[in-house]
Amino acid sequence: MKEDIHETRFKNGLVVLTDRMPSVRSVTLGFFFRAGSRHEPDELNGITHFIEHAVFKGTKRRTALDIAIEQDRLGGTLEAFTTHEETGFAIKVIDDQLEAAFDLLADMLGGSRFDEKEMRSEQKVIIEEMKMTDDSPEERLGEIFSRAYFPRHPLGLSIAGTPKTVRTFDQAAARKYHRRMFKPANIVVVAAGNVKHDEFVKLASSMPFSTRSTPRGNNSASSANSALRTSPPKTAAPIVIRQNKTLEQAHLLLATPFVSGRDERRYAADMLAQVLGGGTSSRLWQKVREERGLAYSVGASSIMFADCGLFMVSAATSPDQTHDVVDIAVEEMRDVVSNGVTADELELAKQQTRASVLLSLEDSASRAAGLAQSEMLHGRQITVEESLRNTNAVTLEEVRAIAREFFCTERMAFAALGNLQGLKVNRKRLAI
């Protein structure tokens, strides 16, 4: 199933993208904003996530109940999320309901009332959400690690904020920040599925903030350059061990800096993460789980922001086995630095990636998300053909070069949470 991608750009910066899939009866509609928690001042930490919640609480035309009933009537699940670098709202509907779904989302995102009573109620909801995170050891460890790894930088702060900051988010604060950040220049509107681009552009033109401009081609100036400016983080190499005697397992993370999402080496970096811990045939899965039985789940992943990245190994094991898991992970990283990966390992990683990419083409939600991600990160569409070509071109030496650059003792970070009284992990144990 090939891509049939079209774009229209408006004078005020609004970008409209479609990917036509005429053989399906669904459409995934998405509004994506180039605004996330890393763009917030410290005193407003969490306000983007708060606004993501608040737009569901009513507009001048719809009550909160009206919004809930309408999304159920449309038959789709209206999903919303906030990350460090973006905020998104997406819904998958039958193709003949696209106009109704568009009207609903446009009204929520452009006409929210931010009712004072509703804002106070939502403060309580979000604080309860924070308590859920505190009760999840994996999520709690992630926040502990991020704060230590990105010291004095927004990437180290919780996306949801803190109870203290959230309690300050009233109607005035929400309206002011919404007006400042959720503006046309920061919006990418996408649709993937049985949709016609010209008709979709007409829907976008009906929004009160969409002054239309002459469409420009794919070689136009990068919209990514108009994204909100942020300062790149200076990362630390912390070793953090937190006690929680109520946990049966020790939850642990090993991390190093990695390439950014805009780095041309990202394809090689993904291959490296895939070989080490990307699936059940990966080195870490086989050695930690299958050979030694030390963990139910273990893996490695690459996390790529616009201007920096992370390679991360994660696992959960019995407290007295923590050193064993750490030693195996470090040894595998050390081996890749010294010897690289094998031709068979690289070929398997490429085949896994190819399958993942091609299978995602069958899902309108995946294709809509891909449209938005390419636009916001690169200012253009990276086609499936280009992505597969770049993946296939990755060499053994390129993978090893990534490991040699980023896997080094002084940059290794470690964090653990659990009943870990007496556990010690020093720089020598993390030596590459």
Q: What amino acid positions are annotated as catalytic residues?
A: 52
Question: Can you tell me the distance from the alpha carbon of 130 to that of 137, in angstroms, rounded to the nearest whole number?
Answer: 12
Residue 61's DSSP bridge partners are: none
Q: Is the dihedral of CA 143, 149, 152, 153 positive or negative?
A: negative
Question: Can you tell me the distance from the alpha carbon of 257 to that of 117, in angstroms, rounded to the nearest whole number?
Answer: 44
In this structure, the strands spanning 15-20 and 187-193 are: parallel
Nearest to 300 by CA among 259, 327, 323, 270: 270
Q: Do the Cβ atoms of 80 and 103 come closer than 8 Å?
A: no
Q: Identify the H or E element spanning 204.
A: helix 197-205
- Alpha carbon dihedral 257, 233, 308, 14, in 10-degree steps, equals 160
DSSP 237-273: --EEEEE-TT-SSEEEEEEEEE--TT-TTHHHHHHHH
Question: Can you tell me the distance from the alpha carbon of 384 to that of 4, in angstroms, rounded to the nearest whole number?
Answer: 11
Q: Do the Cβ atoms of 375 and 186 come closer than 8 Å?
A: no
Q: Do the Cβ atoms of 417 and 314 come closer than 8 Å?
A: no
* Cα 366-368-369 angle, rounded to 5 deg: 65
Strand arrangement of the beta sheet that strand 87-94 belongs to: 5-9, 15-20, 187-193, 26-33, 87-94, 79-82
